[in-house]
């Protein structure tokens, strides 16, 4: 907990305690201004506590080690293996040429002529 949060929590507790004292003082003095001041102090103290402990800034996460994400594709229906050939240079494309980009689309890249193809799955109906 940072020093700013500690000071803010102490200030909020002080405001809430002072507001409670004003509410107790209202029972003796019967003045409306005293109860209003007490309620305002309690409200400000609660808002400060909410700001300090509920509405925090998101903390940044540091990645210290490399993480490998493996995405497996589950294809429905029967598949017949076919050779993939580059339509630009005619080279055979193997499984190393198939990747998945960050948006989730399947991409095939030719290692010889650097052509890029995006696969689109056809509807099954």
- Domain end position, chosen among 37, 53, 69: 53
Does the model's pTM come out above 0.85?
no
In the block, which residue shows the tokens 């050779």? 83
60 within some domain: no
- When divided into structural domains, the chain yields a total of 2
74 within some domain: no
100: which 2 tokens? 């998945």
Residue 43 predicted with pLDDT over 60: yes
Reported as a pLDDT band with limits 50, 70 and 90, residue 15 is: very high
- Domain of 107 in residue numbering reads as 84-119
28 within some domain: yes
Nearest-CA neighbor of 105 among 113, 116, 95, 92? 116
Q: 89 with 115: CB under 8 angstroms?
A: yes
**Cα(121)–Cα(123) distance, rounded to whole angstroms?**
7
Residue 17 predicted with pLDDT over 90: yes
101 within some domain: yes
């Amino acid at each position: 907990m940072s020093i700013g949060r500690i000071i803010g929590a102490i200030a909020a507790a002080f405001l809430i305690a002072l507001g409670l004292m004003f509410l107790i003082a209202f029972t003796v003095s019967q003045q409306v201004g005293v109860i209003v001041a007490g309620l305002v102090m309690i409200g400000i103290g609660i808002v400060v506590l909410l700001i300090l402990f509920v509405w925090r800034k998101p903390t940044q996460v540091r990645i210290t080690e490399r993480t490998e994400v493996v995405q497996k594709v589950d294809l429905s229906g029967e598949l017949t293996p076919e050779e993939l050939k580059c339509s630009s240079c005619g080279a055979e494309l193997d499984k190393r040429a198939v990747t998945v980009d960050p948006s989730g689309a399947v991409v095939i890249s030719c290692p010889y002529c650097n052509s890029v193809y995006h696969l689109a799955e056809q509807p099954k109906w």
